[in-house]
Structure 1
Amino acid sequence: MITTKDIAERLGLSVSTVGRALSDDSRISEETKFRVRQAASEMGYVGNRAARMMRGASSNVVALVIPDIRNSFYSTIAHELSKNMEAEGYQLMLSETDDDRMVELRHLRELSATRVAGVIIVPTARPHSDSVKLLRAMPHLQLLRRHPSLGAQWFGVDDREALRRATAHLVELGHTRIAYLGGPVELPTGAERLEGFRSALQEGGLPDDAGRAELGPPSSVDHGRQAVRRLLKEPDAPTALVLGSIQLTLGVLEELSQQGVKVPGELSVVGFGDEPGFSWWGPGLTTVGLPIQEMATGCALWMMRRLKTKPTNDGPYTSVSPGSLVLRGSTAAPGGPAPSRPR
């Protein structure tokens, strides 16, 4: 590995002069800085960031802590955040928790030890108390999910309104047996989406038994498959489904295709998220569109401003982006035959 000593020997300079030139010290002439940087580039020198941080230099790494990289919402927002961070000279680091609070804690300990500049986190349902302490000691903000113990900096979606609109669309079409598949109420997103579903039924004047909720792991494709399989076996099977996560939507669409259920003739479906394939799945999937780019840009701008201004006390900041209802061919008025039963 090439060191500053190697560069100094090549140029006939002291090691301290080389170090100061590489750190853009004003005491070093521009000519010397140019010679040192040129030699460093030619020799393949890579600076020791850990050593610079020990001397008080700041990190240029921002961590994104998410539950599941397989969820396209998180992978897409990671891509958008990375582009925004790169434009400002920062690098994005990715950590995956699998919604396990102890894994979340281990990652945060490592991130704190490496002195990342900041953290953008989609928290687990019940963050460990040590995770709370670690996050309070570094610039951070919450994305999508919001836990009260982690501060008041949050960027999210109006989940309640998004699911209310999706369900109201089915009610307006005349459906009176509607099922909702979503995440557990322990997650703030799960609770908000379920509330939106129920409020649409109430506003539509439907009885309490008009809607059924199947709750489970939001990142489980299998839960989506199994839940719709159970629903289609019931004597009073629903005529419409509204879904509360991308992974659940993928599971439901796979199961409906495998069973040959006619959408929307036998079953109307409103998905969650707008994957590239959703527009050409079957008749085209009516779905809740998510403002991914808007959220990613907002998160990046807030974090960059926080890192550059270094305020002594972060005031509360909340950004709520609306979802959208993307209308396609998977929803229609009820009236066809009952959904196909699995063999």
Structure 2
Amino acid sequence: MTGAGTARPGARATTARDLAEHLGISVSTVGRALSDDPRISAPTRARVQALAAELGYVANRSARMMRGAPSTVVGLIVPDVRNSFFTSVAHALGHLLGTRRHQLVLCETADDRRTELQHVRDLVAAQVAGVVLVPSSAPDPETVRLLGTVPHVQLMRRVPELAPHWFGVDDHDLVRQATDHLLAAGHTRIGYVGGTAEVPTGAARRDGYRDALRDAGVAALPEHERVGPPSSTEQGGPTFGAAALRDLLSLPDRPTAVVTGSTQITRGVLAAATALRLAVPHDLSLVGFGDEPGFGWWGAGLTTVTLPVTDLATGCGAWLLGLLADPDLAADPHASVTRGALTLRGSVGRPSTVSWR
């Protein structure tokens, strides 16, 4: 026998009208009770909500929106869900939105502007309340036009074509701090492995490295720099990081230290260092970017730039919710820089006088 609350194959979904007929009340009363409308008495709300749970009733979002109810869905568009930074952002943002009775939809672009456009089309078609996005370096014109119809906030990366609301870090300063730390340890041959300068964050991080060397009176050598494709691509990230480190170590005047410019690239550099059996920091000093859990366990622990993930995600989400409540906020550009920090561990030492090879 099948109980009232047990789903049967092929059975139609329970509707608000079913609940109303079962309880002997109007459909509008059911809708208000399920929305916790204070005009409906507490006992009636409890009866409606209990029956809805028993029968597995799910509200028709499209129908609610046609009746004027606002959407509670927020889209999050990121380049790569394998990057622990973006995974942590999704977790923190989803938690914040959940406390405000909103839901998060996660989209991945692989830094491809066509994929980005398709996600934006789908989110706009679904009439989402708003969007948080890590944009590609050159969004399609249609992406820009469609996002102009939806409240949105840029995260980490910032492109001028989109709304001037941005939450991020000082990428230039963070990599400069990392490079300064290596300089203070006595290194003058410092390599850099980072993302392409076509992406705003990539350009800022590379410039932070160069400016630290310049201000210390150390020549920035082009052969000590390796910049590659976005970490979300097959050729980028760990693949590029590993190849770049091997390449740097093959130089006649190889670097005695390396600083990286992305979390995924850091993973590749560590993998190559392990495969080559480098004794870090004796053979090579390393400063990473981002702080995945494994970075603290690698070798003597990786000195790395730690990003304020939770603060970024919750700050960005709270501001977007404020924008949804007060659309007039969109009239004024908003930029928020959250401070990161350099986490010191055991991967940096003084330059070795012994050649690794």
What pairs with 1:1-343 in structure 2 (closer than 5 Å)? 1-23=13-35, 31-209=43-221, 212-219=224-231, 220-311=237-328, 313-340=330-357
Q: Encode CA deviations 1:92-112: one digit per residue, 9 max, x unaligned.
A: 110000000000000000000
Runs of 5+ consecutive residues of structure 1 not aligned to the other structure? none
Mark the CA change 1:266 to 1:145 in structure 2 (over 3 Å): closer, same or farther: same
Check conservation: 1:177, 1:240, Cα contact below 8 A: yes
Mark the CA change 1:89 to 1:18 in structure 2 (over 3 Å): closer, same or farther: closer
Mark the CA change 1:100 to 1:298 in structure 2 (over 3 Å): closer, same or farther: same
- Cα deviation for residue 23 of structure 1 reads 4.7
SS at match of 2:278: coil
Mark the CA change 1:263 to 1:2 in structure 2 (over 3 Å): closer, same or farther: same
Q: What code does the residue aligned with 1:243 have? A: T
- Cα deviation for residue 25 of structure 1 reads 6.0
- Cα deviation for residue 338 of structure 1 reads 2.1
Distance 1:172 1:42 in 2: 66
Instruction: Select between 179-188 and 323-332 the one with higher mean Cα deviation.
Output: 323-332
Mark the CA change 1:135 to 1:285 in structure 2 (over 3 Å): closer, same or farther: same
Distance 2:141 2:159 in 1: 12
Mark the CA change 1:270 to 1:27 in structure 2 (over 3 Å): closer, same or farther: closer
Counterpart position of 2:6 = none
Instruction: Select between 95-104 and 298-307 the one with higher mean Cα deviation.
Output: 298-307
Percent identity between the two aligned chains: 51
Instruction: Select between 312-321 and 86-95 the one with higher mean Cα deviation.
Output: 312-321
- Cα deviation for residue 174 of structure 1 reads 1.7
Mark the CA change 1:203 to 1:45 in structure 2 (over 3 Å): closer, same or farther: same
Mark the CA change 1:183 to 1:236 in structure 2 (over 3 Å): closer, same or farther: same
Check conservation: 2:238, 2:264, Cα contact below 8 A: yes
Mark the CA change 1:208 to 1:272 in structure 2 (over 3 Å): closer, same or farther: closer
Check conservation: 1:101, 1:128, Cα contact below 8 A: yes
RMSD: 1.8
Q: Encode CA deviations 1:280-336: one digit per residue, 9 max, x unaligned.
A: 211111111111111112112101111122327431110012221111111111124
Mark the CA change 1:255 to 1:5 in structure 2 (over 3 Å): closer, same or farther: same
Distance 1:215 1:199 in 2: 16
Mark the CA change 1:158 to 1:226 in structure 2 (over 3 Å): closer, same or farther: same
TM-score (norm 2): 0.90
Q: What code does the residue aligned with 2:263 have? A: I
Mark the CA change 1:264 to 1:19 in structure 2 (over 3 Å): closer, same or farther: closer
Check conservation: 1:173, 1:332, Cα contact below 8 A: yes
Distance 2:321 2:88 in 1: 20
TM-score (norm 1): 0.94
Instruction: Select between 166-175 and 250-259 the one with higher mean Cα deviation.
Output: 166-175
Check conservation: 1:7, 1:36, Cα contact below 8 A: yes
Q: Encode CA deviations 1:253-293: one digit per residue, 9 max, x unaligned.
A: 01111111111111110001111111121111111111111
- Cα deviation for residue 169 of structure 1 reads 1.2
Mark the CA change 1:286 to 1:211 in structure 2 (over 3 Å): closer, same or farther: farther
Q: What code does the residue aligned with 2:287 have? A: V
Mark the CA change 1:266 to 1:312 in structure 2 (over 3 Å): closer, same or farther: closer
Instruction: Select between 22-31 and 79-88 the one with higher mean Cα deviation.
Output: 22-31
Check conservation: 1:167, 1:201, Cα contact below 8 A: yes
